[in-house]
Each structure stands twice: as C-alpha cells, then as structure tokens.
Structure 1
Amino acid sequence: MAEVSTKQLIKEFDFKILNNEDEVAYRSITTSDISRPGMEMAGYFTYYPAKRIQLLGKTEMTFYSELSAAEQKDRMERLCTYDTPAIILSRGMDAPENLIIAADAVGMPILSSPLTTTRLSSQLTTFLESHLAPMTAIHGVLIDIYGIGVMITGSSGVGKSETALDLVRRGHRLVADDSVEIRQEHDGVLVGRAPDLIRHLLEIRGLGIINVMTLFGAGAVRNYKRIGLAIDLETWDQKKQYDRLGLDEETIKIFDTDLPKLTVPVRPGRNLAVIIEVAAMNFRLKRMGINAAEQFSERLSHVIEEGDKEEF
C-alpha cells in the first residue's frame, strides 16, 4: 500500500510544529481524504475518521472557544489518537493548551500553516492523491510529443531508446527510459514518470548511458506526463496482417483505464521517429473529431454506392 510520511508532508508544505518535537512520532498517511472535525467538536465521535489528517479552521476553533473547560479537554483528548497522523491548524492559528497536552500524550504532531482552510485542504488533497495513487512499472519509454504523452513499448533491443533519442533531437521531451512508473491519479488519468535513479538518463546500446538534460538542455526533459497513447514496436512478421487503414482501435488496460494502443512493425528502412511523431499528431486530430480513416471509409462507401446506382 502506498503511503506518505508525516515528516515528508511537513517538509513539502513547510509546516510549523506547535507541540513538543521530542514527543512526536512521524506516522504514515494512507488516505488522501482530509477531515474537518465539525461534528466531533460538537461531541459526535461515532464515525470519527481517526486515520485521516484532521484540519482545524476558523469555524472549528471558534466553536471550540465557546465550549466549557471540561468539554474542551474532552474534545481534544478524543481527537488525538494513536492512529491520527496529524492535526493541522490553518491561518497560522495557535494551538490550545488542551490540544498540545493531548497530542503530546499520544506522540501526534500539531502543525500550523498560514494558508486559508479551503486552499490548504485543496493543496493537501492534490498532493496526497498524487503520492497515494496506485502505481505500477512498465518496461518502455515515455516521450512528450506535441503535448501527448506517448509510451513506447516493445521487446528488448527493438529500438525504443534509439527512437526516443531521435525524437528528442526533433524537439520532443523525454520523460522516462527503460522503466516508466505509472500512477492512476484519477479515473481515466494515468501519469508516468521515471524512477529517481534513472531520471533524465537514456541508454543507447554501443554508446552507453547519456544524460539528456546535460546534452540537450532542460527543455528536452520532463519529470512527469499524463499518458495518452501507447505504441508497441514489434519486429516485422511477414505472416501477420497489419492494419493499413487505421479503423481498428486497440487498447491496453492499465488499472481501470483503457489506453489507446497502436502496433508499429519494425524493419530496416522505416523511420520510427517520424512514424511515432505523426501517430501523436493523428491522435490529437482524432480527439478533435477529425478521423482520416473514417473519412476515407465514408468516401469509399459513397463511391461504391454511386457506382451501383450507375449500373442500374
């Protein structure tokens, strides 16, 4: 299961720790959902989502200030559990004494941010959804071609990295070579990136490992990209019938997402970089409602119908 450490969250958002750091245990966050414990402040803890980050804004703290001393102590003790990763106060508010005592007792960090509650909640959710999304790794290359994330797959030695190098020389941007880490951040949204160890690196047989950013500049690389199209390179098989019109639409399933897929046969003399570049442009046209294959099929059907009419 993917998880994010509270310590990682503190570093990412530059949170200030309000209680005793020596007593804090940096727990794992396993859900992207953020809880604003309004009902809990009123005393209703039956369905308290203790494993979520608890976000206290001006509304919750104003209500808290109107409670009796005994109720204030009770609410904070029940909010702070051994399962709760952290309680965050927005707008730079100070933590009440009862909250600090209760948090120190269970080793839970109390954090503070100057951001408004709504903005902080939005940024936290986006960050956690990105880092807690389901992840898989696929052997291949990911290139940003005219704004389309194109994942190139195929057997070892078929020419994926060499094609990627040619595409980079043509002005496109490398995201990952050899291994593509793919996360499904939302329904139908796959985002690919390179593992940290091989980021910006490209392996060319006979040449070795090259640093694309050093050779071609920062504009030749991207850290991540949404994947829109998969292209599988395979050695040309004379016995196999390949699609010549483009009417057949294949897909590859990754998590719950069906990704459009093209199969491109490889043999000497074919310029794969140009073919893949045109495939990306044609994919963009299809998304805009322009499908050359369907238009040709309609014209062909029209010509056949006109020919049949002339015979009669």
Structure 2
Amino acid sequence: MSSFVTVADLVKDNELKVYSGEELLDEKKVTTSDISRPGIELTGYFDYYPSERIQLFGQTESAYSRSMTANNRYKVMLEICREDTPVLLISRAIQPSEELLKAAEEHKVPVIGSELPTTRLSSMITEYLDRRLAPRESIHGVFVDVYGIGILLTGHSGIGKSETALELVKRGHRLIADDRVDVYQQDEKTIVGEAPKILNHLLEIRGIGIIDVMNLFGAGAVRSSSDIQLIINLENWSPDKNYDRIGSMENKREIFDVQVPQITVPVKVGRNISIIIEVAAMNYRAKKMGYDATKKFEENLGALIQDNTNKEDK
C-alpha cells in the first residue's frame, strides 16, 4: 500500500504546469484522494478547513478572490497555505494572483495548474490518487485480456498458466501480467490488476526462459492493466472430484471487499484450455448481457418434465 504520492509524481503523471515551488515538489506529499475547493475559506471561515488536502482553485474561487482587496486576499491566502497543505492547484490555465504566489512561497507550498476545466481536472486527479493510494496486494497468477474481459488465471505452479497465456496471445488476445499480478480496489465493485514494473510485457516459458511479448508479437499483444472480471482456477484433473457440468455452481473469490466470479477448469491431456478460456469469456459476456445458458437449459428441462407429466395424466 502506498501511503502518499509526491507532488512531483502528481505533476509528472498528469502533465501539470508548475507556477512556483518547483524545488518543493519532491518533499511535498499528498496523503488523501479528497480534494478541497476553498470557497467558504475565502470568506475567512477556517473552523473546519481540511488543510491536508489538495486545494483546488477553479473559476469561481479565482473570480471571488479577485473581488477582494489585495490586503484581504493576501491574509486569506496565508491562512490557506499551511504546513500540511501539499499543493495549490489551479484549473483553466488561470494565472495565480501575486498574493497567492507570495503566501505560497512564504509557507513553502507549491502552486501548480492545468488547462482543464475544474470538474474534469478534479475527477482526473481524484481517480489518479485513488489508484495510487489504494491498498494493494500481489496474487500469484497470470492475467490476460480475452475479448475485452479481464481474466485472472490461477493454479499451482507448473499447471500451464503461462503456456496458456502464450497460446491466447497467439490467438489475438492480450497479456497483462505473468507470474505476479498487482491488484488494488478501484471502487466498491471494481478490482484492477496490473503487472509489476519489473515484469511488464514479460512471459516466462519453462524450457525457453523469459520472452518479451511486446517485442515478439507487437504492441497489440499487451495491455497495461484491466479490471479483474473473472477468475479461472486451473487444476489437475481428478476422477474423484465432481466438476460443474451445467454451470449452476457459482463460486466467488473475495479480493479486498469485492466478490469476483470464479470457475474451476480441470486440466488434462486432450483438453484445449485456451479455447475453453475463450468460451468462458464469451459466456461471461453473454451473462452480463442478460443471457444465461444454464437458466435456459433449466427452463427447457422444466418444460420437458411438465410436458411428460401432462401426458402421463392423460
């Protein structure tokens, strides 16, 4: 889990402009994804001022501050710029006032900006910080994009996850991560997976070694991240185990606070696992669109039983 994001990273990753305090960017840290628009603070009310947040000045805040006298504006800006204030962010390429820059310099608060509209900028930065500050964990497995569905392949080491991913890449699908998948919770319903930087685009095949998928198959064969929508657990076939043959056994795996659908696919000689995974992805998409083949089968079976019962009654 990352407990902070430096303002330097914030500026670099979001292509923001630095108005002042460039020497402070590496030491200033953002610890929360909440963003404050200091509207009421401009009137002088600071009883509940969240100074630890990014302070975002939009058109409204900037216009109101321009209506103040220079002296009052400077006093208010001194109150806004506190020791724990990470940064002042200005939208719409609005030029910061001299009083704002002076107060920020005195209290060692950097001032940055963007050409984006305020609402859009706020959403972009919040999403970025949610992603960077979210709790993270690593899962052993292979993560692939099949028909736009993020599928996490799990199973014991040596079961053939990487080889299956290679076959899927050859069939036109995309690799996201091999061996280790870094995951984080984006919101109440979404888990996102990505590759650790050291393993980005790389795939390990026993007997060959490490291959660079992007170098061998092109940029279209890889993807940086995706939502984890389905987990497929690969395990060796056992004649003593009862596998789901209809699709009525709905299992889920909890990752953080999100329940992710999981199915188990037995592996044995003669089964084409790559094609099975493709079909699983298409079947998952069909269910999301409202068509469930299992329910259709159960309805047909029920109708058949009812029809036979009616014939016997006659």
**TM-score of the two chains, using structure 2 as the length reference:** 0.94
**1:33 maps onto 2:31 in alignment:** no
CA contact (8 A) 1:50 1:84 kept: yes
**1:296 maps onto 2:308 in alignment:** no
CA distance in 2: counterparts of 1:237 and 1:106, whole angstroms: 68
> 1:267-311 CA distances to partner (integer Å, 9 max, x unpaired)?
122111111111111111111111111111121122122222222
Deviates more, 1:188-197 or 1:105-114: 105-114
Identical pairs, percent:
49
CA distance in 1: counterparts of 2:171 and 2:23, whole angstroms: 54
> 1:5-31 CA distances to partner (integer Å, 9 max, x unpaired)?
100111123333223434666322122
Deviates more, 1:19-28 or 1:231-240: 19-28
Residue 136 of structure 2 corresponds to which residue in structure 1?
A: 135
Residue 188 of structure 1 corresponds to which residue in structure 2?
A: 189
Evaluate the alpha carbon distance shift between residue 291 and residue 158 of structure 1 in structure 2; reply closer, same or farther with a 3 A threshold. Answer: same
CA distance in 2: counterparts of 1:183 and 1:255, whole angstroms: 8
CA distance in 2: counterparts of 1:23 and 1:301, whole angstroms: 70
CA distance in 1: counterparts of 2:41 and 2:71, whole angstroms: 15
CA distance in 1: counterparts of 2:219 and 2:69, whole angstroms: 59
CA distance in 2: counterparts of 1:64 and 1:249, whole angstroms: 58
Alignment RMSD: 1.6
Deviates more, 1:115-124 or 1:208-217: 115-124
CA contact (8 A) 1:26 1:109 kept: no
> 1:184-228 CA distances to partner (integer Å, 9 max, x unpaired)?
112111111111101111001111001111111111111111111
Which structure 2 residue ranges, 5 or more long, are not aligned?
Answer: none
Aligned residues: 312
Residue 230 of structure 2 corresponds to which residue in structure 1?
A: 229
**1:4 maps onto 2:5 in alignment:** yes
DSSP 3-state at the match of 2:123: helix
DSSP 3-state at the match of 2:20: coil
Deviates more, 1:127-136 or 1:164-173: 127-136
User: What is the Cα deviation at residue 237 of structure 1?
Assistant: 1.8
Residue 106 of structure 2 corresponds to which residue in structure 1?
A: 105
Evaluate the alpha carbon distance shift between residue 303 and residue 196 of structure 1 in structure 2; reply closer, same or farther with a 3 A threshold. Answer: same
CA distance in 2: counterparts of 1:192 and 1:43, whole angstroms: 44
DSSP 3-state at the match of 1:274: helix
Deviates more, 1:187-196 or 1:121-130: 121-130
Evaluate the alpha carbon distance shift between residue 301 and residue 79 of structure 1 in structure 2; reply closer, same or farther with a 3 A threshold. Answer: same
CA distance in 1: counterparts of 2:23 and 2:306, whole angstroms: 83
User: What is the Cα deviation at residue 173 of structure 1?
Assistant: 0.6
Matches within 5 A, 1:272-283: 272-283=273-284
**TM-score of the two chains, using structure 1 as the length reference:** 0.95
Residue 148 of structure 1 corresponds to which residue in structure 2?
A: 149
CA contact (8 A) 1:24 1:104 kept: no
CA distance in 1: counterparts of 2:168 and 2:243, whole angstroms: 24
Letter of the structure 1 residue corresponding to residue 236 of structure 2: T
DSSP 3-state at the match of 1:123: helix
Evaluate the alpha carbon distance shift between residue 80 and residue 238 of structure 1 in structure 2; reply closer, same or farther with a 3 A threshold. Answer: same
User: What is the Cα deviation at residue 152 of structure 1?
Assistant: 0.4
Residue 242 of structure 1 corresponds to which residue in structure 2?
A: 243
CA distance in 2: counterparts of 1:144 and 1:102, whole angstroms: 49
CA contact (8 A) 1:25 1:107 kept: no
CA contact (8 A) 1:72 1:98 kept: yes
**1:260 maps onto 2:272 in alignment:** no
DSSP 3-state at the match of 2:233: strand
Residue 119 of structure 1 corresponds to which residue in structure 2?
A: 120
